[in-house]
Structures are given as structure tokens and as C-alpha cells.
Structure 1
């Protein structure tokens, strides 16, 4: 039976100082003053509409993403969080994360964000090497990154994350592992360590840089994971590593096929209605001007996730995680039977290939299954 899963809230702030050449997110370089107050009002109007679809439910996590949310003032973030609670109840232990880019202007505001209600900050470092920061179009240097991370650790947050890339242009294994060692030395409770990929509609896609060869990438991944494990970090998803008790609850809810409201330019949402047995996905109007021209409807797209599509969508998310997946979670979040013949046939194929372990209560990907994740997911299409 379909059951409403935990509920999160994603808030998109679309502006950044400049667009990075690898970034395919919905972000827009600042050309004039940011219309902070006007945008906040639209965010809350947007939320008021979506809140009617989840009445009686509590928000467990909030994530400010972008763009660069830390370009907003602490007072603006406080106003958003106050407004959220006027529309929906917020769990007492809610995780409230905000993405921030290092730099002297922003790092000095971390205490203000903490006082506004943010209890987790994700610092977008990407690299500690000056030449790599320039290649990636970042506006900070390594010293500003270190200062920002140190401040994030000193303002009384529940946790903080460092975003770090590897497999960069002109990067060998030594430089990639040096970046990782610097991040580990700063003692972040959580690290997002992921390989640069070239995405469509980016500057890197139109003018591709030369990336390290596959054998170098493999060496970086293998040695880096050993460094992280030795330092006490547990890999709990494809690019997520945490100290005990510091997993990102917001991301976990995504990967466990939980629900989330998405407000702001281009924000995505997923809402389950247990009474009607439906799962609805939403996308908001992408461009800031179009979004703020709205008065009563911020939707760009909305569609139902049909029952035949739910197995693929569920496992596409769930198999990012390294935890065993309870079959009960599958049944509650999809409304489908874990013993349906068509599903059992796929599970059997995955077992025969050595990609999946099937127990009476759980499914779990093997090490081989993690390596061949795309092929595993193709079985569910």
C-alpha cells in the first residue's frame, strides 16, 4: 500500500557571482543587484500553493541550493525560514543545509546564517590548487577556502560538508590526493568527493578540456577511498562520505524515494498522495524573470509517475546508496508488491550477474553491482 514517505523542502536560489564552465545547474551570473526581497516573497507564495498538497505533514529537512544561496543576507534566509513555518510544521530536529562558496565576503556571514536557523553548511571548495580553481572558474583561492571551512567548523553548526572534485584537467593522482588530504585535515564531518563529468549545455561541453586517462582516474578513486576509510569516513552513497552520525539526511531522503517540495526557479518536487495512490513530479519555471512575473502559479511542468515507471525510478535512487534496501520501503513508497513476477524476474537476472543480493527482507548491491550500476539499472527499464 502506498504510504506518504518523509517530506523535505528544496529552496533554489538561482544567482551566483559567475557561471562556472562545468556547471549545468539552473544558475545565473549576477548582472545587477539581486532582487532578494521580491524573490523571497515569490518563494513563499510558491510554497503556499504546494503546502496545500501536503497538509498535515511535517518538513524533516530543508536544503538551500543554487546558484549561490549564501549571496542572500542572513536576514533574508531568516525571513524564508520564518515564512516556511507559517505554512508547514518543521521537525524540531530538522536538518537545514545551505550551500556556500568560499570567499571573504561570504565566509564572514556564516555566524549570521547559523543564527538565522541554518544548522548545516556545504562549502563548495572543488580544489585547493590555484591553477585548478582558475580552470574551474571559481572565484576563491585556496586560503579563502580554508578560512571558510574553519569558520564553518567554529560557528556552532550541527555539521558541515566540503564539496571536492577530482579528475580535473591537468590533474594527476598526486594532486588529486593532495586535495583530498587537505580536506581530511580540516576535519569536516562530511565530504562530497566526486569526479568531474562533462555535462551538456556547459562551456566545458562546447570547449571540452583534456581530462586524465581512465587508469589515472581509477588510481585516484582507489587510493582516495583508502585515505577516506583510514580517516574514519564511511562511504554511504556514490559520492558521499561521512563521519558517524553525519550523513546528509536531505540527500538520504532523495535516494530513499522520499517526498520533497521544490520551490524557486527550476526547482523539482515529488509529492505522494496516499489517498489517491498517486505520485506527482513538478518542475517550477526556470528563469528568474519568468518566475517572478508569476502571481499565482509557478509550475512549468507537472506529471504523474505511472506504476510501470516506479520500479526504475525507485531503484535509480535507492542504488546510489550503499545500504541494504528494505523491501518494505519499496512497497510503501511505490505502492507496488516486492513479489510481483515481473520484478522477481529482474531481481533474478541481477543475481545471476552477481550484481545483487536478495534476502527475505532486503536487496543489496554487491561490489560488482556498484561498478556496473548503469547496467544494473537498465534491467528495470
Structure 2
């Protein structure tokens, strides 16, 4: 079993039987403030009350990164993702100082993808121009819907017109690589309204669309006060119709909720789904790091509350947990990411990514194959259409008795 510690001690676990490799490395940066907490949001976000502590928070992020650097000696960053919260509340100058400070501390690939999340209610073309000059080369804009009534029910601070303006401003500012977030299964939403949202998004020519179902997550306002959602049959019909429209316009579904034009898949998220490594800095940020030499894979996360994070960043007290993943839990950890992808995975990559012999998967693969949930051929495993729609049922076959 893995042990949990509250410092940076490296713990060696036992169990891997194959050579373990260090995968690509990414950096996630969490900015926790937003204008108003949405009723469906279960992220670590906090409504700001006045001026944000930009200078202090950037300094804290860089101190946090410095403390994590021993985990990534000799490695370079392939992608960066600035999420939240609402990172677009920070000024372009603060983002520039942050990215410059990161580049001074760790090697960054020449073709790095740097994404910043933005809320339509907090941006305009000049702000986007500033972010681009700071080094951001990809945006992810949280639209959710282009219907004013649905936006109001979701507690969004923008209306449909602001959502359209934000996408247009992103392109005018020089961003040819940006994502639009859309939800379906919204309270009171019919199939025609879901299709109208997708049609409007396509008309704005994003390179990527995230299209996912509203779920009522624990510890949210909607979970405590559930709205009336559409019937399952309506949600399913809307999903299938919207997926067909996206495919018709060249947006290929490569992950459960991700659709991209050719060559525009989100590299940062692909790294997550391919069980890659990532450092996580910021309040509540999570990271995953492989140490091939020691044969361990560990997860760690930081203090969640912004005040506590600012007080402790760069010290051992900032680390909420540091946990080495037990070998018996690695198959599920690997599969719950990889099987979200249409491409699936190669058995050889499973061994290189976990240090485990691929035959530990044999019972689950056989059972899922017989149930029509997985397709296996020439050492390559992927979900069937049935398996993709019932992914939880697939993963149940790979849970250890300790999961």
C-alpha cells in the first residue's frame, strides 16, 4: 500500500516488473479567483472581493514551482495550462511576469502550447492582445451556452452577445487556436436549443470545442438545490444530434467530451489522458510525477484555500498531500485516462508508463471483450462504441480490491 506524507520525502514502492519511463512533462497553474461562483462549479474557485493580489500570487506561484523543481530535474515542459477560477481576471502584465519567471526556472520546449482559460465577461480584444504578447498561444473560453435564459440559470456573468464577442475578439487578437466550452443537458434545454448552441459555436470557427453534459456535482449549489433537468431520452438525443453536427463540420471527437479540427487537439489535456506527468502549482493544484530511476509514480497537491496557499507557498506546509500510487492501483489510474481517448492505448505503453507487466490486464480485457466493451488487436486496446458509452462498466473490471 502507498503511504501518504506531508512533505517532499520520496517513497519507494514495490511491485513494478518492467522498465518504467519518464513521460512528457506539463505544468498546470491554478488561479482560484472568479467574479461569482457558478452553481454547478465544483472547482477550487473563490469569488473575489476587491483587488486581486496579483503580485503576491505570482511570487507565490514561482516559489511553489521552485520547491517542485527537484521532482523534474533534467526535464522540460511541453505544455502549460493556466486554469481556474477565472485566470483572465489577472492582467496581461501579471501573466507575462509569471511566464517569464517560469522560463527562468525550468526548460520550456520551443513548440510549447500555453493555454489560458478566459470568461467572456472579463475580456475584450485589447486584453487578449496583451495575453498573446505575454506568451499565451491558446485560449479556452468558457461559453457554456449562447442562450440568455440558460446562461442566467447557470449563473454565468456574461450573456450570449458577450460570448460571441469574446470568440470574435480572440480571433481578432491573433489567436487561431482557441477552444469554446459548451454544456448540454441544461435545465429546460431541448434538442433544438442544444443544436443551436453548437451551430453558433461552429460559426465562430474555433479550432476546438469541449462539449459536455451538465452534472450535479457534490458540494455545489445545484447538488443541494437540484434544478429540473431534461429527461435522459432528450439528453441522449441532443448529444447524438450535436455530435453528428460537429462531425459534419470537421470537429473529430477524440476524447469523451473533446472535439477538434485536424491538428488542433489540446496537447495539454492529451498529456493527462495519456498518463503523462505534470507539475501543479497554485491553490489546490494537483500534480503527477514519475521517477523512473526509483520506480515510483506519485501524486501531490497543494493547500486549497488561497489565503493559506499565499501564507505557505514554497514551504513544506504548502503541500497538502504527497502520495505514491500503489502498484495495484496503477492499472485503473492508467485506464481511466487512456480509455477516454478514441485511440485507446498500446500494451507496450502501459508497461512503459506503469512499470507493470501488461498481462496484469488480461482478465479485465478478456471480460470486456466478451461483453463487447473493448476491442483488442495486435497489442492495441480501445473501447468499442458500447464501451465508450459505458466507460464506468469497463473500468470496474480493472479495480483492485483496495480501490
Pair in the same fold by TM > 0.5? yes
Match of 1:162 in 2: 180
1:9 and 2:27 correspond: yes
Deviation at 1:250, TM superposition (A): 0.3
CA contact (8 A) 2:338 2:344 kept: no
Query: Matches of 2:328 and 2:222 in 1, distance apart?
Result: 36
Query: Matches of 2:144 and 2:115 in 1, distance apart?
Result: 18
Match of 1:374 in 2: 392
Q: Relative to structure 2, which stretch is displaced further, 294-303 or 57-66?
A: 294-303
Q: 1:104 to 1:307 in 2, by over 3 A?
A: closer
Query: Matches of 2:192 and 2:158 in 1, distance apart?
Result: 22
Query: Matches of 1:324 and 1:291 in 2, distance apart?
Result: 37
Match of 2:354 in 1: 334
Query: Matches of 2:340 and 2:262 in 1, distance apart?
Result: 19
Deviation at 1:104, TM superposition (A): 6.0
Match of 1:296 in 2: 315
- Select 1:52's aligned residue among 53, 70, 80: 70
Query: Matches of 2:342 and 2:208 in 1, distance apart?
Result: 16
1:200 and 2:218 correspond: yes
User: What's the secondary structure of 1:215's corresponding residue?
Assistant: helix
Deviation at 1:154, TM superposition (A): 2.2
User: What's the secondary structure of 1:270's corresponding residue?
Assistant: strand
Query: Matches of 1:324 and 1:20 in 2, distance apart?
Result: 33
Query: Matches of 2:290 and 2:175 in 1, distance apart?
Result: 31
Query: Matches of 1:376 and 1:350 in 2, distance apart?
Result: 6
Match of 1:124 in 2: 142
1:281 and 2:299 correspond: yes
Alignment of 1:72-83 (within 5 A): 72-83=90-101
1:220 and 2:238 correspond: yes
Query: Matches of 2:344 and 2:306 in 1, distance apart?
Result: 40
Query: Matches of 1:155 and 1:99 in 2, distance apart?
Result: 15
1:252 and 2:270 correspond: yes
Query: Matches of 1:254 and 1:296 in 2, distance apart?
Result: 26
CA contact (8 A) 1:104 1:144 kept: no
CA contact (8 A) 1:199 1:205 kept: yes
**What is the aligned residue count?**
379
Query: Matches of 2:78 and 2:348 in 1, distance apart?
Result: 21
Match of 1:150 in 2: 168
1:63 and 2:81 correspond: yes
User: What's the secondary structure of 1:380's corresponding residue?
Assistant: coil
Deviation at 1:105, TM superposition (A): 4.4
1:313 and 2:320 correspond: no
The gaps in structure 2 that reach 5 residues or longer are 1-18
CA contact (8 A) 2:126 2:173 kept: no
Q: Relative to structure 2, which stretch is displaced further, 190-199 or 331-340?
A: 331-340
1:138 and 2:138 correspond: no
User: What's the secondary structure of 1:201's corresponding residue?
Assistant: coil
Per-residue displacement from partner, 1:287-312 (whole Å, max 9, x unpaired)?
A: 00100111523201110011110000
User: What's the secondary structure of 2:172's corresponding residue?
Assistant: coil
Q: CA RMSD in A?
A: 1.0
Deviation at 1:60, TM superposition (A): 0.2
Deviation at 1:156, TM superposition (A): 2.1
Deviation at 1:360, TM superposition (A): 2.6
1:176 and 2:194 correspond: yes
TM-score when normalising by structure 1: 0.98
CA contact (8 A) 2:78 2:112 kept: yes
Structure 1: 4+ residue segments shifted above 4 A: 104-107
User: What's the secondary structure of 1:109's corresponding residue?
Assistant: helix
Query: Matches of 1:301 and 1:29 in 2, distance apart?
Result: 25
Query: Matches of 1:108 and 1:122 in 2, distance apart?
Result: 17
Match of 2:288 in 1: 270
Query: Matches of 1:51 and 1:222 in 2, distance apart?
Result: 45
Match of 2:362 in 1: 344
- Select 2:209's aligned residue among 163, 181, 191: 191
CA contact (8 A) 1:70 1:106 kept: no
